[in-house]
Each structure stands twice: as structure tokens, then as C-alpha cells.
Structure 1
């Protein structure tokens, strides 16, 4: 039991207990410190004043909103829950978080990040859930965030079967130090051993990729000539001490590849793809940020607007897949090589169905 007249030590003890997350029973405090109920009330009032001044001095100018100041006070201030004999004093959140509150993600920012992460399916379940929990720790309004993704989290199925973060870190170290990396890589049931100088990591359409050449090179069906690798297919990775200087002018640029190839980031020779699009052109413009509408006219036969669109892209397999997915919504004007590819693919598909019809 502390001496009755040692108010400073008593208040400091109570403050430290509150900051430690303890809930203090009013009646027990009176007995512990051998003081009256009024004294405990005065002590709590002193502690609340100090915390409120701390919040106000640090955030009045930063936030400039009485509503936000009230929210901070509600979360980091001493509160009384009336129950039993005199109730309990507590602080909702640890006051030590207050020093970094200005750097926390807002609820809206956290919500957007969580939705994008879950949609990506980029990490194994354990790694994704760990990342989500970390965002909860730095995000505002944690309970709202947790409730907003309950269903998606429950049904989440990551594409990788095994952890990726450590591998991504190892490859990133190799890129930073310009070190060669060796690994085994399997594609189409064939495994080959590679030794490459990684240029960059990037993410697109479910997968993290390690790139070892610029984006205007070719994605080759020949396994031995690959220079873009899905990280989750890389095994037995080792870093080597030999340093090699990258050609900065011909380096891989993920932003260009993403803008020019839409959903699938396949390498290829740069081209300008000209098409007539028979639907809302926003579906092309959103997919390819560099695309431009050259002209538009109303087609009387189709009874719809037709847009002539030029797209800066490449002749890689990803763009060809996208074109085939559009079905009868577009016609390729040029280049002839891409037009011929799509026409031949359509004929092949028709032949598959024709064979079935002939058997009936």
C-alpha cells in the first residue's frame, strides 16, 4: 500500500497501468492506495487532462477537425465503464500508438488495399493472412475492416502453394547487388537449370515474375530461351557472388509492359495495333492506357457506334489472347501478322466444332 500523501507516485502508477492495457477497478484503487473515492476521481481527472493536452497539442493543427479530435480522444483517453462497485477505468487503445497516428492508413485506404490484395491471390494463405493482420495493425477502424472482408478471407485461396515472401526478398537482394542467380525451373512438365542476372520483379495476372531481359525481347516456347519466370515455379534458388552490370538503356520497365499488354504481360516486338471496336471503347482504353480513339462513326447495319482505335502494344502472346477473347466485338485492321494469327486461330476453333458436327 502506497502512502496516502504520495499523489505523484500514485498517479504515475495508475497511468502506467492504464497504458499497459489494464482495467482499473475504482474500489480496488481506493483500497490499494488507502484514499477516498474523491481522491481517485481527482487522480483520474489529472491523468485525463494530461492525455487530452497531449492529443490536442499534437493533432489540433494536423487534423483541423473537431470530429477527428473527438475520435482521437475517445480512442486514447481514459474512460469509465460503470459496473460492480464503482466501475472500471480503461483506455481503448494503447497511447503509444498515438505518436504514429498521423502515419496510419485511413479506413478507406486500408479497405482499398485489402480488397486489391485479396483479389490478386498472389500469396499463399498463411502469408496473405499475415499481411492482412499487419494492415489491421496500422489501419484505422480495425473492427470495420475485419468485418468488411470476413467472407473473402474465409474463401481465400492463394495461387502459390508455398511461401513466396522469402524468395522475393532473395531475388530482390540479387537485383540490388547485381548478382547472378541460379535455379531450377519447370514449364509444361519439363525442368531446366538456369543461371540469370535478374533485372526486376513484377506482378501481373495472379503471378510474381522475375525478369532477366528487357520487355521487347520474345517469350519463347523453347524452355532454354526463357527470360521471364514465374517465381512460384523457381526452385533451388542460389545467389552467386559474380557481379554483372546491367544495360540501363535496355533495362526491363514493368510500367511500359503493363500499359502495353493489358492483362497478360508477355514480351514481344513493339507494334501499333489498329482495330475497329464494336462496343463501348472504355473497355479498350482502360485496358491499354496508351490507346487512342482515331475516329468514330455510327454503323447503320449494326445500329451502333464503331470506334477506330490505335493501341501501342506488342506482338506477344498475351495481346493475341486478349484479341481472341473479344469474340465478335472487334476487327483487326493491322498489322497483318496479328490479323492473320487471329484469323487462323478462329479457323482452327471452327474446325474443332466442325469435326464434332460431322460425327453426328
Structure 2
């Protein structure tokens, strides 16, 4: 291999966060120690001439050269493994987008760590199941994010859960992820609520930027972080103060789901709490807890929960015929 090509090759390996062991490189490229030292010196000169933040460093413990990141902290293998485990477990993206993102994140690691990481996530990669909609959403997400930054109203063509297509002008304020899907958080022109609505990104067929809205107080006053603890299953609507009883065994599940809470009373088996949540989403979550969670107030919400259970019980009281 020509000297120039060899130096470029070594430099590329360093850029990929590979650690170059002196003896291994000498053996691999069939060069002597003086040639290796010249190559390292040439790479250092290139970095200096480019005024690069990266610095070529020698680790005396494992006798390897590697590129620093100008004081920035590199991702470790365990960092990236945790990120990819969460990402793959979320099933948030279609197959092609997920595989592309996994490859991009893995490339942040040195070669040896990338190889070890592959074995840690190999099963999830080979058996990844994309969401049913199967749509690519990253480009749409980025376009909407630009409208949020520029404070621009957009017109969306949106397909509802029943298949009905609607056109709606909205003021986007955030994009969030929850329960397998990305959602656009946006205020509707005709909304009767003081809080925004949620629109699944995969159901947005198209968007059109309508123009800037100026210093709208909805942008300056709204903080999704204030709203998020009260949201369940991405249903907004009316914000309620809800009193409930839960079994002590279910307390952790309740407070993790609704972090804005106040414990009112405790008994040997139960805990009585007051939580702040959006009613529609909270009913759907509470129904999944069965007898472990009981809504005490407001009365209207308690009655709706009772009606929900009554309808469910009626369904299960009838025998199932042959299917």
C-alpha cells in the first residue's frame, strides 16, 4: 500500500473512533516502527493545520492511539446499547427508518464496540416488527419542527381513526412520543379548550405552511412539560382534579403514570390520592387497572367509569359461539 493511502486509511479508522494498537498496525501494514511513527506524526500535523478540535492521544495502558473529541465526551458502548434497546423497544419507526437510525448511532462507536453491540441487539434487529401503519415519518417530523421554530401555522390533511379525512388549520407547538406513536401537539382554531390537541404524525397525509403568526401568546405561554404529567394515552380535553383509591400494590403504577399527586390518607390495604389529569385519557388508563384503582370523584367521572365496566361486563356475560 502506498504511504499516502496508508495514512488516509489510518486517519479514517481513527475518525471512526477505532483505537489503533501500535504493534497490530505495524504487523497489519507490514511496516517498521519508524514508518509508523512518521505516519502518526503526519496525522498530528494534518490535525494541527486544520485547527481541528480533535487531538491524537496515546494511551499507555493499552498502547493505543485514538482521537479525542476536543473535550467532548464520547458515547460508550453501554450508552449506545441503552439508547438502542429503548429505541428498538419503542417500535416507533418503520423498518427502513429504524435500521438507518440504528446504523447511524452504532457508527458513533469504535469498531470493537460496534461488533460487541451487534451481538447485544442482534435478535431485536432481525425480528424487528414495524408499527402497522408502516409509514416513514422522520422527514415530516423535521418539516413540522421547522414550522414550530419559525412560529408558522400549518394546514394539515389528517385521517382520523374511523378513516375520515379532514382538513384542519393548526398552530403547532411541539412533537412528542408516547405509546408507540409520534404526535403533533397543536392548537386548533375552533378549539373550546385552553389546551392543545394531539395528532398522530403517521395519520397526517400532507402539510402546507400558511405563514408566521407573530408573537402569539400560545407560543410564549405554553409549555408541554407543564401539561405532560396530566396526559394519559395522548388525550387532552378538560383538566380535572380526581380523587381515587388504589391498592398499595398498585401505588407505584399510579404515581409513575400520574406524577402530580397528593396522598390524602392511607389504610392497611389502600392509599387515597388526589391527582390532576385529563379525564378522557385517565378513564382509559384506570379501566386497565381493574379493581386495583377506584375513581371516587368527580361523580361524573365515577359514573362514566361505572358505565364502562357495565358495558364490558354485559359483553362477557354472553357465551361465545363458534368463530
The alignment's TM-score, normalised by the length of structure 2, stands at 0.77
Counterpart residue number, 1:341? 304
Q: Which has the larger radius of gyration?
A: 1
Change (3 A) 1:213 1:46: same
SS of the residue corresponding to residue 267 of structure 2 reads strand
SS of the residue corresponding to residue 114 of structure 1 reads helix
Counterpart residue number, 1:70? 61
2:11 paired with 1:19: yes
Distance in structure 1 (CA, Å) of the matches to 2:29 and 2:261: 71
Distance in structure 2 (CA, Å) of the matches to 1:350 and 1:112: 42
- The CA deviation string for residues 285-341 of structure 1, in whole angstroms up to 9 with x for no partner, is 11121223222211xxxxxx21112212121x2111111111111222111111111
Equivalence map 1:231-246=2 (5 Å): 231-246=201-216
- The CA deviation string for residues 78-125 of structure 1, in whole angstroms up to 9 with x for no partner, is xxxxxxxxxxxxxxxxx5x54468432122221121111112111111
Equivalence map 1:4-83=2 (5 Å): 15-16=7-8, 18-19=10-11, 40-44=32-36, 70=61, 73-74=63-64, 76=65
Given that residues 55 and 70 in structure 2 are in contact (C-alpha distance below 8 angstroms), is that contact kept between their aligned partners in structure 1?
Answer: no
Select 2:292's aligned residue among 329, 333, 348.
329
The alignment's TM-score, normalised by the length of structure 1, stands at 0.70
Change (3 A) 1:20 1:135: closer
For this pair of structures, how many residues does the alignment match?
A: 293
Query: Runs of 5+ in structure 2 lacking a partner?
Result: 14-23, 48-53
Given that residues 261 and 275 in structure 2 are in contact (C-alpha distance below 8 angstroms), is that contact kept between their aligned partners in structure 1?
Answer: yes
Residue 203 of structure 1 and its aligned partner are, at CA, apart by 1.2
Counterpart residue number, 1:37? none
Equivalence map 1:184-199=2 (5 Å): 184-187=157-160, 188-199=162-173
Given that residues 270 and 312 in structure 1 are in contact (C-alpha distance below 8 angstroms), is that contact kept between their aligned partners in structure 2?
Answer: yes
Distance in structure 1 (CA, Å) of the matches to 2:184 and 2:129: 22
- The CA deviation string for residues 187-236 of structure 1, in whole angstroms up to 9 with x for no partner, is 1121112222222211111111112229xx779xxxxxx94211111113
Distance in structure 1 (CA, Å) of the matches to 2:35 and 2:305: 80
Residue 13 of structure 1 and its aligned partner are, at CA, apart by 7.6
Query: Runs of 5+ in structure 1 lacking a partner?
Result: 3-9, 31-39, 61-65, 77-94, 220-225, 299-304
